Amino acid sequence: MHHPGQIDELTDVLPCVNNIPIILPINTPHNTPMTRTWKDVERLTVKEALKEAEELREEINFHNYRYYTLDSPVISDAGFDRLMLRLEEIEERFPGLVTPDSPTQRVGAKPLPEFGTIKHTLPMLSLDNAFSEEEAREFDRRIKRFLKTAQEFEYVAEPKIDGLAVELVYENGAFKSGSTRGDGYTGEDITQNLRTVKSVPLRLLSRGKEKAIIPRRLEVRGEVYLPKEGFRKINAEREKKGEPLFSNPRNAAAGSLRQLDPRITASRPLDIFCYGVGRVDGIQFSTHMEMLEYLKKAGIKVNPLIDVVDTIEGAIKYHKKIEGLREKLGYKLDGVVLKVNNLALQEKLGMRTRNPKWALAFKFEPEQETTVVKGIEVGVGRTGALTPVALLEPVTVGGVTIERATLHNQDDIDRKDVRIGDTVIVERAGDVIPEVFCVVKDRRRGTEKPFTMPAVCPECGSKVEKTGAIHFCTGGLSCPAQLMETISHFSSRRAMDIEGLGEKHVEQFVKDGLIKDVADIYYLKKDDIVKLERWAEKSADNLIESIEKSKTPTLERLIYSLGIRGVGEHMAGVLAREFKSLSPFMKPGMEANMEAKEEELMAVHGIGPETARSIVDFFSEPQNVKVIEKLRKAGVGFPGKKAGQGVLDGKTFLFTGALRTFSREEAKRLVEEKGGIAAPAVSKNVDYVVAGESPGSKYDKAKALGLKIISEEEFRKMVQG
């Protein structure tokens, strides 16, 4: 598909974009391609074909411009595809009519044996750098000294795009050739590849009241770049195929543009921003900004953040503003470029050998730095996930000193081949946690040590198991790193439902050493609680009472509250129904019998291998079993579920819509207490759907499945037996 963004309705009022009035070509958009009929290609005369092909090209170019340059299409994808198809059809029937600037020529050109070279008419210079405000002010003072004036003058301030500099040559409005910067004097001929960049117009626009003058020759300079999103996608694909990753969007853009096979270039979502000209025949500009406005009018893509500032202080403000925007933009910047706006002044200032004296690259803080991995430490998160963290030789990145960087997981370490002692590139983007980006392999001395995850949890000594790419500690009930998370989950409404035990309290009890594992909740004493800050007789009484009240959970709630990885409410229900009590899991010798147990679990409908594994791991961890025993000793009921126990025994209920006399939670609890199951979603296993007021989509699905639907009243009667 050509246009990802879909426009279904065409509007008559077209906006001005970048102050360019939009003038429509003859056929657009009122004569939409979706309703237009075309003569059979076989019956076209050459003259008719020529005329139609020219019109189609103009129309397609216009839509490409709207879409790729202005980001504001006025045609649907399908409409656009129809235009392209028609043009391809004509060109196929009349190959003599194909022109090199036809939009059909953007893709599919043959691979080149090697690049030719192109000499730049005027050298492509580079820029002097400044890394601080003071250096930027010094640049301004230097200019004033040179001009022997104290008077202020305007700068054009532009984002400095992190990509690859190119030159595009247009002759009589048609894209003729394009090249890389090369050594500044001669570059590589990458014409075919640049044709595939959708925002490079193959024809300059010259339409409307304010007709852009089309010079005999126009050399445009700009930066080709790969948007961040495209970069991520390409690297994700390369990773899948096991190909080496691009280290940053700039390398990816350069690699894509310097492909000998333009079809590969065409598959990469490259883009361009133009910021200058080389030789221009027949147009005079008096300021840099005037020239940029002209480029926009001619349909060339210019960065919308470019602005004119009155003084160097204005430029410094601009630098700050753009640095603040940096994270939000879809492309990478490495600074701003300041250019004296007045071209006569530029002329006066002239050049040094490689840099113009009238321009400056005012850099941002770099986001990447090189440093050494001194060691690798393993952290345990609240969920029990083990994360390897590189301990670094301290280094400043983006103005912040970093000493640690995440390595994500073992798979990532293996893929990047990070070893202790390695020299690495670390990256920090905005507030994101710094990460080890890649290893500088040239710096290896052979003494670096590979790393593997520990077999036991560094926090609690429980066994470590790998699920997907992540290593997890299996000691969920006792691991101190997971304690906060475990307790929050354990006491939550849908689990043991301990009212009044909020996160803040848990934090307090843990900090004070009153709670070291979940079972300790049931050993809390009023006397200990009232001694703590912000507690009084009454509140302590209330808490002790709600802890007492939570001692008689249903089996599903008890299983759910243990926080076994992969065992949510639904799975807890499945296990409760199938095994009827916790005892089958608590048998001594579970460890010796792991495989058999796993198989037994997998035989139950709805339990996959990963969940089976995780359940067996959980119960074979002695630390967990100890805590479960401790719970039992504290008087927590371990319900056994026998057939024929409750009036709703074995029946599955689903609730939809608002109930009048119960809260959803109450209703579910009631079902469970009476031996039934509260289903989380519609499925054919549901026996009764209880429909409250204004039921939602679950109701329609239940109806479609032909499930039995009952009212709240009927449900009440069933519960009451």
Considering the complex, state which of residue 348 and residue 577 has its C-beta at the smaller distance from ligand IVH.
348
- How near is the Cβ of 155 to ligand IVH at its closest, in Å? 12
As a whole number of angstroms, the distance between CA 651 and CA 689 comes to: 11
Q: Stretches 106-114, 153-161, 594-602, 617-625: which one binds ligand IVH (CB under 6 A)?
A: 153-161
Considering the complex, state which of residue 356 and residue 379 has its C-beta at the smaller distance from ligand IVH.
356
- How near is the Cβ of 128 to ligand IVH at its closest, in Å? 9
- How near is the Cβ of 184 to ligand IVH at its closest, in Å? 9
Task: Tell me the H-state helices in 634-683.
Answer: 664-673
Q: Stretches 258-266, 354-362, 402-410, 517-525: which one binds ligand IVH (CB under 6 A)?
A: 354-362
Binding-site residue total for ligand IVH (CB under 6 A)?
15
As a whole number of angstroms, the distance between CA 636 and CA 628 comes to: 10
Q: Which H or E run contains 166?
A: strand 164-171
- How near is the Cβ of 210 to ligand IVH at its closest, in Å? 25
Question: Can you give 387-450 as a three-state secondary structure string?
Answer: EEEEEEEEEEECCEEEEEEECCCHHHHHHHCCCECCEEEEECCCCCCCEEEEECHHHCCCCCEC
Considering the complex, state which of residue 34 and residue 351 has its C-beta at the smaller distance from ligand IVH.
351
Q: Stretches 6-14, 64-72, 122-130, 486-494: which one binds ligand IVH (CB under 6 A)?
A: 122-130
Catalytic residue check, 160: yes
Long-range CB pairs of 557-561 (<8 Å, 24+ gap) are 557/494, 557/495, 557/496, 557/497, 557/672, 558/496, 558/582, 558/636, 558/638, 558/639, 560/494, 560/495, 561/489, 561/490, 561/492, 561/495, 561/496
Amino acid at 669: R
- How near is the Cβ of 374 to ligand IVH at its closest, in Å? 34
Applying CB under 6 A, does 186 fall inside the site for ligand IVH?
no
Q: Is 171 helix (H, G, I), strand (E, B) or coil?
A: strand
Enumerate residues 204-223 that contact ligand IVH by CB under 6 A.
223
Enumerate residues 320-349 that contact ligand IVH by CB under 6 A.
337
Applying CB under 6 A, does 356 fall inside the site for ligand IVH?
yes
Applying CB under 6 A, does 376 fall inside the site for ligand IVH?
no
Q: Which residue is nearest to ligand IVH (CB)?
A: 165
- Report CA 475 to chain centroid distance, whole Å: 32
Which residue has 């560094």 as its token pair? Answer: 458
Considering the complex, state which of residue 174 and residue 254 has its C-beta at the smaller distance from ligand IVH.
254
Reported residue count of the chain is 721
Torsion of CA 116, 238, 410, 445, to 10 degrees: -20
Q: Which of 158, 422, 465, 556 binds ligand IVH (CB under 6 A)?
A: 158
Amino acid at 351: M
Applying CB under 6 A, does 475 fall inside the site for ligand IVH?
no
Q: Which of 160, 297, 301, 630 is catalytic?
A: 160
- How near is the Cβ of 273 to ligand IVH at its closest, in Å? 7
Nearest to 572 by CA among 679, 681, 686: 679
DSSP codes of every residue in 499-555: TT--HHHHHHHHHTTS-SSGGGGGG--HHHHHTSTT--HHHHHHHHHHHHHTTS--H
DSSP codes of every residue in 320-374: HHHHHHGGGSSS-EEEEEEEESBHHHHHHH-B-SSSBTTEEEEEPPPSEEEEEEE
Residues 6+ apart with CB under 8 A from 242: none
Cβ atoms 169, 122 nearer than 8 A: no
Applying CB under 6 A, does 154 fall inside the site for ligand IVH?
no
Task: Tell me the H-state helices in 447-500.
Answer: 483-491
Q: Stretches 236-244, 260-268, 356-364, 706-714: which one binds ligand IVH (CB under 6 A)?
A: 356-364
Q: Is 463 helix (H, G, I), strand (E, B) or coil?
A: strand
Considering the complex, state which of residue 102 and residue 180 has its C-beta at the smaller distance from ligand IVH.
180
Q: Which of 20, 74, 75, 125 binds ligand IVH (CB under 6 A)?
A: 125
Considering the complex, state which of residue 336 and residue 501 has its C-beta at the smaller distance from ligand IVH.
336
Q: Which of 165, 266, 289, 519 binds ligand IVH (CB under 6 A)?
A: 165
Applying CB under 6 A, does 251 fall inside the site for ligand IVH?
no
Q: Stretches 112-120, 157-165, 387-395, 428-436: which one binds ligand IVH (CB under 6 A)?
A: 157-165
Applying CB under 6 A, does 307 fall inside the site for ligand IVH?
no
Kindly tell me the sign of the dihedral angle through the C-alpha atoms of 108, 114, 119, 120.
positive
Q: Which of 79, 103, 249, 276 binds ligand IVH (CB under 6 A)?
A: 276
- Tokens representing 28 are 């657009």
As a whole number of angstroms, the distance between CA 15 and CA 6 comes to: 18
Q: Which of 53, 202, 298, 359 binds ligand IVH (CB under 6 A)?
A: 359
Q: Which of 126, 251, 267, 508 binds ligand IVH (CB under 6 A)?
A: 126
Applying CB under 6 A, does 127 fall inside the site for ligand IVH?
yes
Q: Stretches 68-76, 156-164, 552-560, 710-718: which one binds ligand IVH (CB under 6 A)?
A: 156-164
Q: Stretches 32-40, 160-168, 431-439, 701-709: which one binds ligand IVH (CB under 6 A)?
A: 160-168
Q: Name the maximum alpha-carbon separation found in the chain.
A: 101
Active site residues: 160
Q: What are the residues binding ligand IVH (CB under 6 A)?
A: 125-127, 158, 160-161, 165, 181, 223, 275-276, 337, 356, 359, 361
